[in-house]
């Protein structure tokens, strides 16, 4: 049998992508994969960042605050076990006022 010298393309099985479930609640998008979760808090999209601050005291009190130039902010309270309690807030009147809060985001086990 003669060979023409041309190589034949071998068809390979396409790689399987991980299965995900995406849910949306207002501007919040949650993408869930096996053992992983991504939560996008779309309410702060496009805001100009002023600063980010990490607060920690002892073993129980930890938070990350993201402040924006329009005097609003996002506070991520971290509880033991790496749970997050997101809150979008304003300080325009000088007082801390929650504009929106999201359900606690618990770490995957």
Is 38 a domain residue? Answer: no
Closest alpha carbon to 49 in 28, 24, 20, 70? 70
Dihedral sign, Cα of residue 53, residue 54, residue 58, residue 59 = positive
Is 21 a domain residue? Answer: no
* pLDDT per residue rounded down to tens, the chain (109 residues): 555 556 565 666 667 777 889 999 999 999 999 889 999 999 999 999 999 998 888 777 888 999 999 999 999 988 877 788 899 999 999 899 999 999 887 765 5
Is 108 a domain residue? Answer: no
Is 69 a domain residue? Answer: yes
Is 26 a domain residue? Answer: no
Output the pTM of the full model.
Answer: 0.63
Is 88 a domain residue? Answer: yes
Is 37 a domain residue? Answer: no
Q: Domain count of the chain?
A: 1
Q: Which long-range contacts (CB under 8 A, 24 or more apart) does 78-85 make?
A: 79/104, 81/106, 81/107, 82/106, 82/107, 83/107
Give the chain's length: 109
Q: Which domain holds residue 89?
A: 44-101
CA-angle at 78, arms to 29 and 32, nearest 5°: 30
Q: What is residue 5's predicted lDDT score, i.e. its pLDDT?
A: 58
| Whether 21 contacts 38, CB under 8 Å | no
Is 48 a domain residue? Answer: yes
Q: Residue 42, SS3?
A: helix
């Amino acid at each position: 049998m003669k060979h023409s010298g041309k190589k034949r393309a071998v068809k390979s099985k396409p790689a399987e992508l991980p299965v995900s479930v995406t849910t949306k609640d207002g501007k919040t998008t949650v993408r869930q994969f096996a053992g992983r979760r991504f939560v996008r808090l779309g309410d702060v999209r496009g805001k100009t960042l002023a600063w980010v601050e990490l607060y920690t005291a002892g073993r129980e009190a930890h938070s990350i605050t993201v402040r924006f130039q329009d005097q609003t902010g996002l506070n991520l309270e971290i509880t033991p076990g790496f749970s997050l309690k997101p809150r979008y807030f304003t300080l325009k009147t000088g007082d801390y006022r929650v504009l929106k809060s999201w359900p606690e985001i618990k770490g995957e086990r």
